A and B are shown apart, each in its own frame.
Chain A
């Protein structure tokens, strides 16, 4: 009976929370996917209301791809010059007004028109027509839960606005190729890693009195293994991990002290 009353209670709380919200939380949309025998996942996609077409769902794809056949059928070429000499039928970038994966729709998405040879090869291999790849510009907008066992993905709008990846790449190519790693908050400690030291972690070389690390009980000589769940195997690692932690948030650091692993909570301050 205990379990039962707990369930009822949480149901009551949920109702209360919803009543407090000014905007109703967006509903999760569950989309089934098909596992292809090649180990890829495929989803039913409608473009501008036309379809469904079977596309690969690919978290490793920075952009979405649609092939020329799909582009032709849903009218993506309207007002667009179509080059007959393009490599792999590549017709460049387009903006898709509406793209729905299962019942989840998104608007104004970047995509490339291209007959990607890998998609074609795959298509022949699995004996199904595949029309392209759904990538980052679509899935990044959602809190995405992938479940291979249930063969479903669950999508809830997250509010994240994906940047234009093509622009990001160009900016990256034009950048100097150097960067400075900076913590986002002040920890009050100095670490070091000797040349030739291949063991996990970095050495805590100095704890600055009255700083955040000092208050949390870190000591000189501790071996710092992780910071907020991130490995700190090098000085770069340490600074990068510290870059993810906002000031005044309490996070766990894992250290090794006299042969034992210990977890401490540190709250870095707003400073530098």
Chain B
């Protein structure tokens, strides 16, 4: 008689399958992290953006910095909430007619004022948005997996005047922002784009080797050839492709680059200006 429980299990399995929602939508949501390791997702609100929002289970709703709210044409209504006609999250999740609070939280003032995040943060994405998805967060991957849940959470209720005071901490936000002014820091770092060279590389037995040359690229035009070994870049010895890419990653377009190559007929320096492109 011992087969009975076995049979039962097999019967239960298809039932579980049937109980699942019919093809829930699954999204791969890209994210980046701030210097203090907040998870940041990008959104467009009413077609404006992209804006950087911290994925924050510690926030009860979506909170949008005042400046961003203005850009997206949002203002808080009588119940204390603004309504986003369209909220688009990078990777695909899209919500319509969703409530958010337009207000600059003190945490953001401080973080942006000191340039603490390494990017300007435009708001917090909390419970009322997050609860609609089953979210898989894994720092060994560069995307999260969000599965749409059949879960209609109530829209946030009326905000009473004066509620939600942070008990003195908002002073710290302003304090930090002013401190940032003294230090001359901006929320967004100054950004340059890396220059283009046009070589494909592989690690060789001894030296990194050029395995492909884009003829119309800067290095190709200057005479770097397929089969060349790379010994140095700008007088710096390189021993692996990783080495070269890390070094070159800090060189903006338009800079002079000198590559020392080794061929059958000896070594030579080849000089060119890095171009633009990826």
A-side residues, CB < 8 A to B, are 3-4, 7-8, 38-41, 56-62, 117-118, 120-121, 133, 136, 139-140, 143-149, 158-160, 162-163, 165, 168-169, 171-173, 175, 177-184, 186-191, 206, 208-211, 228-231, 233, 235-240, 242, 244, 269-272
What distance in Å separates the Cβ of B267 from its nearest Cβ neighbour in chain A? 21
Q: Give the residue of B39, B138, B169, B216 whose beta carbon is less than 8 angstroms from that of A118.
A: B169
Q: How would residues 192 to 231 of chain B score, 1 for a CB under 8 Å from any chain A CB and 0 otherwise?
A: 1110111111100000000010111100000000000000
Write out the residue numbers on chain A whose beta carbons fall within 8 Å of the beta carbon of B130.
146, 148
Q: Give the residue of A40, A231, A269 whose beta carbon is less than 8 angstroms from that of B60.
A: A40
B161 close to A (CB within 8 Å): no
Q: Give the residue of B59, B151, B167, B202 whose beta carbon is less than 8 angstroms from that of A120.
A: B167
CA distance A269 to B128 in the complex (A): 42
The 10 closest A-B pairs by CB, nearest first: A39-B60, A60-B56, A58-B58, A117-B167, A182-B249, A148-B131, A172-B35, A271-B200, A182-B194, A62-B36
Write out the residue numbers on chain B whose beta carbons fall within 8 Å of the beta carbon of A238.
278
The reply to whether A209 and B215 form a contact with Cβ atoms under 8 Å apart is yes
Q: Give the residue of B17, B55, B189, B193 whose beta carbon is less than 8 angstroms from that of A60.
A: B55
B74 close to A (CB within 8 Å): no
Write out the residue numbers on chain A whose beta carbons fall within 8 Å of the beta carbon of B136.
143-145
Write out the residue numbers on chain B whose beta carbons fall within 8 Å of the beta carbon of A271.
197-201, 212
What distance in Å separates the Cβ of A222 from its nearest Cβ neighbour in chain B? 14
What distance in Å separates the Cβ of B149 from its nearest Cβ neighbour in chain A? 5
The reply to whether A182 and B153 form a contact with Cβ atoms under 8 Å apart is no
The reply to whether B139 and A158 form a contact with Cβ atoms under 8 Å apart is yes
The reply to whether B57 and A233 form a contact with Cβ atoms under 8 Å apart is no
Q: How would residues 131 to 148 of chain B score, 1 for a CB under 8 Å from any chain A CB and 0 otherwise?
A: 110111111101100000
The reply to whether A190 and B194 form a contact with Cβ atoms under 8 Å apart is no
Instruction: Report if A181-B193 is in contact (Cβ < 8 Å); known contacts: A146-B135, A159-B140, A162-B37.
Output: yes
The reply to whether A272 and B189 form a contact with Cβ atoms under 8 Å apart is no
Q: Give the residue of B13, B57, B91, B200 whose beta carbon is less than 8 angstroms from that of A58.
A: B57
Write out the residue numbers on chain A whose beta carbons fall within 8 Å of the beta carbon of B261.
none
Write out the residue numbers on chain B whose beta carbons fall within 8 Å of the beta carbon of A57.
57
The reply to whether B35 and A168 form a contact with Cβ atoms under 8 Å apart is yes
The reply to whether B140 and A146 form a contact with Cβ atoms under 8 Å apart is no
CA distance A63 to B254 in the complex (A): 41
The reply to whether A4 and B193 form a contact with Cβ atoms under 8 Å apart is no
Question: Chain A contact residues: over half helix, strand or loop, or mixed?
Answer: mixed
Q: Give the residue of B10, B92, B116, B168 whose beta carbon is less than 8 angstroms from that of A173.
A: B116
The reply to whether B200 and A269 form a contact with Cβ atoms under 8 Å apart is yes
Q: For B42, B55, B190, B193, which residue has the most chain A Cβ atoms within 10 angstroms?
A: B193
CA distance A113 to B249 in the complex (A): 40
Residues of B143-194 at the interface with A, using a CB-CB cut-off of 8 Å, are 143, 149-151, 153, 156, 165-169, 185-186, 189-194
What distance in Å separates the Cβ of A60 from its nearest Cβ neighbour in chain B? 3
- In the complex formed, the residue of A with least CB distance to B202 is A270
The reply to whether A239 and B10 form a contact with Cβ atoms under 8 Å apart is no
The reply to whether B190 and A62 form a contact with Cβ atoms under 8 Å apart is no
Write out the residue numbers on chain A whose beta carbons fall within 8 Å of the beta carbon of B5.
none
CA distance A81 to B118 in the complex (A): 34
Write out the residue numbers on chain A whose beta carbons fall within 8 Å of the beta carbon of B245.
182, 184, 272
Write out the residue numbers on chain B whose beta carbons fall within 8 Å of the beta carbon of A121.
165-167
The reply to whether A239 and B30 form a contact with Cβ atoms under 8 Å apart is no
Q: Give the residue of A172, A178, A180, A211 whose beta carbon is less than 8 angstroms from that of B194.
A: A180
The reply to whether B277 and A208 form a contact with Cβ atoms under 8 Å apart is yes
The reply to whether A40 and B57 form a contact with Cβ atoms under 8 Å apart is yes
CA distance A130 to B186 in the complex (A): 36
Instruction: Report if A187-B127 is in contact (Cβ < 8 Å); known contacts: A178-B192, A180-B191.
Output: no
CA distance A139 to B6 in the complex (A): 37
The reply to whether B55 and A211 form a contact with Cβ atoms under 8 Å apart is no
The reply to whether A183 and B194 form a contact with Cβ atoms under 8 Å apart is yes
CA distance A59 to B199 in the complex (A): 41
What distance in Å separates the Cβ of B73 from its nearest Cβ neighbour in chain A? 14
The reply to whether A186 and B200 form a contact with Cβ atoms under 8 Å apart is yes
B124 close to A (CB within 8 Å): yes
Besides A187-B278, A208-B277, 20 more A-B contacts (Cβ < 8 Å) are A56-B58, A58-B56, A136-B37, A143-B137, A148-B130, A148-B153, A169-B116, A172-B35, A175-B189, A177-B189, A177-B190, A180-B192, A180-B194, A183-B278, A184-B245, A210-B212, A211-B198, A228-B30, A229-B28, A235-B193
What distance in Å separates the Cβ of A190 from its nearest Cβ neighbour in chain B? 4
The reply to whether A229 and B214 form a contact with Cβ atoms under 8 Å apart is no
CA distance A118 to B59 in the complex (A): 11
Instruction: Report if A272-B196 is in contact (Cβ < 8 Å); known contacts: A117-B166, A148-B131, A229-B30.
Output: yes
- In the complex formed, the residue of B with least CB distance to A140 is B139
